[in-house]
Amino acid sequence: MLKLANPTRFMEYSGPLLRWLSVGAAVLFAVGLYMVFVTSPEDYQQGQTVKIMYIHVPAAWLAMMGYSMIAISSIGSLVWRHPLADVSAKAAAPIGAAFTALALITGSLWGKPMWGTYWQWDARMTSVLVLLFLYLGLIAIWNAIEEQSRAGRAAAILGLVGFVNVPIIKFSVDWWNTLHQGSSVMRLDGPTIHPDLLWPLLVMAVAFTLLFLALHLAAMRNEILRRRVESLRMNEVASAASGAAEVAE
C-alpha cells in the first residue's frame, strides 16, 4: 500500500488495473443486464417496474460507498497529509454525487407507479437527498478554494464532519417519517428477497461497484496529470520570466 502511495508508482500500476476494472465492469454489466431483462421474472405485484430496482439499489449503495471513500481519504489527507488522499477525495466527490442523483432519480421514477407519486418526504429519500447536499458542499468547496492543498484539507475537514453527521441525520430523518420499505437484502436473518431477483441484483451491484472503482481510478489519474501539467506550465512561465529578465539586462 505504502509503495503505491507514490504518485509516479500509482500512475504505473493504476493504468493496467484500470483496464482490468473496465473490462470486468463491462462483462458483468453484459451478464447482469441479460439476467435483468431476459431471465429474471417479473414481480407478481410490481410487474416490469421491478427492473428499476437493479439500477436503483446499486446506485444507492454506491452513494454511501462513495461517501465512505471520501471519509477514508479525508483521514489520509488530514493525518498523513498525503497528496494521493487529496486526489482520491476530490475524484470521488462528483462520482458519488452522480450515483446519489441516479438513486434519487430512479427512485422517483419507481415511486410514481408504486406509490403514485414522484416524490414522498419519506425517511430514506430525505436522507439520501441530504447526502446529495453534502456531496454538493464538498464539490463547492473544492471549486471555491484555488490552492489545491489548502482546498484538500478544507474538504477533508468538511468530509469528516459530514461523515460523523450522516448517521445522526439518518436517525433523525427515520424518527421524522417512515414509509420506505425496510432493508430486504442486508439483514441478519438472511435476505427476504426471492433468489431469482437477488442474483441479478448482486451481479448488477458488483458491476456498478467495478464501474465506480474504474471511474474513480480514471478520475484520480486525470487529476494527477492535471496537476503535473499545471506545475509544468508554472515552470515554463517562471523560466520565461527569468529569460526575459536576462534579456532586459
> Minimal distance in Å, beta carbon 154 to another protein?
5
Does 64 help bind another protein (rule: CB under 8 A)?
no
| Radius of gyration from C-alpha coordinates of the chain | 22
Distance of CA 70 to the CA centre of its chain: 8
Residue 1 CA: distances (Å) to CA of 4, 60, 135, 153, 218: 5, 28, 27, 22, 19
Does 160 help bind another protein (rule: CB under 8 A)?
yes
Helices (H), 35-122: 53-79, 83-115
| Interacting residue with another protein among 23, 27, 161, 240 (CB under 8 A) | 161
Instruction: Tell me how far apart the alpha carbons of residues 114 and 141 are, in angstroms, rounded to a whole number.
Output: 38
The DSSP code for 38 is I
Of the listed pieces 54-62, 107-115, 128-136, 181-189, which binds another protein according to CB under 8 A? 128-136
> Minimal distance in Å, beta carbon 170 to another protein?
9
| Interacting residue with another protein among 72, 130, 202, 206 (CB under 8 A) | 130
Does 87 help bind another protein (rule: CB under 8 A)?
no
Instruction: Tell me how far apart the alpha carbons of residues 97 and 144 are, in angstroms, rounded to a whole number.
Output: 17
What binding mask, one character per residue, do residues 9-38 give for another protein by CB under 8 A, x or -? Answer: ------------------------------
- 3-state DSSP assignment of residue 147: coil
Does 234 help bind another protein (rule: CB under 8 A)?
no
> Minimal distance in Å, beta carbon 175 to another protein?
7
Instruction: Tell me how far apart the alpha carbons of residues 97 and 67 are, in angstroms, rounded to a whole number.
Output: 9
Does 79 help bind another protein (rule: CB under 8 A)?
no
Does 153 help bind another protein (rule: CB under 8 A)?
yes
Instruction: Tell me how far apart the alpha carbons of residues 221 and 198 are, in angstroms, rounded to a whole number.
Output: 34
| Interacting residue with another protein among 172, 185, 193, 218 (CB under 8 A) | 172
Residue 60 CA: distances (Å) to CA of 13, 45, 98, 185: 29, 23, 11, 13
What binding mask, one character per residue, do residues 33-62 give for another protein by CB under 8 A, x or -? Answer: ------------------------------
Which residues lie near another protein (CB under 8 A)?
78, 130, 133-134, 136-137, 140-141, 144-145, 150, 153-154, 157-158, 160-162, 164-165, 168-169, 171-173, 175-176
